Amino acid sequence: MPSLNLIVRTLLGAGFLGVSACTTLGPDFETPEADVLETWDEQAQSLSAGQEPEKWWASFNDPVLDQLVETAYQQNLPLQISGLRILEARAQLGIAIGQQYPQSQQVNGGLTRVGLSDNTANFNSSFSDDKYTQADIGFDAAWELDFWGRFRRGVESASANLGASIADYDNALVALTAEVARVYVTLRTLEERLAIALDNTRTQQRSYQIARVRFENGAVSELDPSQALSLLKSTESAVPQLESQIRQAKHALSILLGMPPNDLQDILRGEGKIPQPPAEVNVGVPADLLRRRPDIRLAELQAASQSARIGVARTDLYPRFALVGSIGLLSADTGSNDNSDLFESDSIGYNFGPQASWNVLNYGRLKNQVRVQDARLEELVVNYQNTVLQAAQEVEDGISGYLGSRDQAAYLGDSVTAAQRSVRLALVQYREGAVDYQRVLDTQQTLLLVQDSHAAVRGDIVRSLVATYKALGGGWELRAGSTFVSEPRQEKMKERTDWGRLLDAETVPEELPEPPPTGKAQPLLNSPDW
């Protein structure tokens, strides 16, 4: 009678023999071809082709912006959700790896009281042991061999899915840093526009006083102070709207930072100026997008994961081979036996050997399942190519907006200087009676308009530059040397669930994830977390 050790050795030996004879069905993934420009358009070529800085927000030399980005990275709640999805993908990969091992191992046992019916067919009334107690304990195992690469492709798909979850985290981080910078610039722009409105109200208040005094002295009609008061109240009406927009911008910024709005004041340190763009802007070359944009890598990894699913579906067209075995102890208190004999050698029972199964007469359904997976792959390939094109467009649009706003701001700056001088001259001439108040009114209206437009366009310059840096894929490098899930949250999860090595091994790669190797058997040393 073979021992348990012999049975296990036989099953393992047959398993390794079967694995060595396996093949891997399905296509091996290759990165899809995508149209990439060699250079940016002529307008963009006026900028430097140097490498974009990793922490591009630091190029604005604004300590408040630096602190806002760092705080958002540490506390933003949607980003933390993306980090937790990486842990989920790691656990899913562990499941896929575990499928390469014996899929079923069960220890079972029972104590059963059996009573046979006297009225059953062919019952022998002379049989004395028609009521007895049966005890059993045993071990069952089943191992479906990965003959066609079903489980290897599953590991390949799960590995690519893990990489995709990391790329999705990076993409969220790129969007977060850009949105923090954009809202911050919007806030500073609104604060400057509010300061301009308040400054103009003071100027218009003085003009109104002059017009009222001249009217009281009989030098002008009541029309002049009435016009002056109308312009003053119109300018003052913009103040509550700007203050409301400032509060809304602070609320949006506090959400990005994962904190109540009141806590934001300590970081903002009061009112500030619109950040100044760097003297030199580096935009690299179009080919850099394939390396730096997380959403492009995300689209590539999603296609890689789907490619492996085609191989999984194709294995259903072929027979499955498995090794099954069972060994146990069985005893009943019948005849001269007793349940105390359970652990004697005569109570050992076993069965083991190979099994095969094949889904036949199902080829319509099975083949169409393969076609479904193949169509999904082609969808993701097209999505990858479209993502590359959209990335190039976003860069071009950002650069175009930056350069256009920069030129517009230069013209408006000259216009502000001229308008300020016009207001001073018009007010002097009005005091002397050389011009009517309409000239003062026109110059003050023009000054307010061009000053407000100049501040808005200066904000547009920085926002367009932020959009350019986002389109270039910068910002995800902030995570280097850190973890996807904060230490306090990890400790909380460990208290609730046994996470084994998944949390202990949580390290953040320095580079964007690459698609996993395809068409190769996963090594058995890549053991699951037991």
pTM more than 0.85:
yes
- Residues 174/296, Cβ–Cβ less than 8 Å: no
- Check residue 100 and give its pLDDT: 86
d(C-alpha 258, C-alpha 72), whole Å: 7
- Check residue 122 and give its pLDDT: 60
- Check residue 511 and give its pLDDT: 78
| Residue ranges of E strands in 58-200 | 104-115, 131-144
- Check residue 507 and give its pLDDT: 67
- Residues 272/249, Cβ–Cβ less than 8 Å: no
Query: Would you list the DSSP string of 451-465?
Result: HHHHHHHHHHHHHHH
Dihedral Cα 272, 275, 276, 277, nearest 10 deg: 180
Name the token pair of 514.
């690459």
Taking the mean position of all CA atoms in its chain, how far away is CA 285?
Answer: 25
Which residue from 477, 462, 51 is spatially nearest to 282, judged by alpha carbons? 51
First to last CA, the chain: 32
Spans of the chain below 50 pLDDT: 1-2, 4, 7-8, 11, 14-15, 17-20, 521-525
- Residues 508/482, Cβ–Cβ less than 8 Å: yes
> Cβ–Cβ contacts within 10 Å for residue 177, how many?
29
For residue 106, give every residue at least 6 positions away whose Cβ sits within 8 Å of its Cβ, in sequence order, or none: 139, 140, 141
Which residue from 381, 214, 386 is spatially nearest to 300, judged by alpha carbons? 381
CB neighbour class for 285 (10 Å; exposed up to 12, middle 13-18, buried from 19)? middle
- Check residue 329 and give its pLDDT: 81
Amino acid at 256: L
pLDDT tens digits, one per residue of 455-507: 999 999 999 999 999 999 988 988 887 888 888 998 899 899 988 878 876 66
d(C-alpha 439, C-alpha 434), whole Å: 10
- Check residue 39 and give its pLDDT: 80
| SS3 label, residue 91 | helix
pLDDT tens digits, one per residue of 173-219: 999 999 999 999 999 999 999 999 999 999 999 999 998 988 888 88
Domains in the chain, start-ordered, CATH in brackets?
39-102+148-319+366-500 (1.20.1600.10)
Please, which residues bridge with residue 142 across strands?
104, 324
- Check residue 527 and give its pLDDT: 59
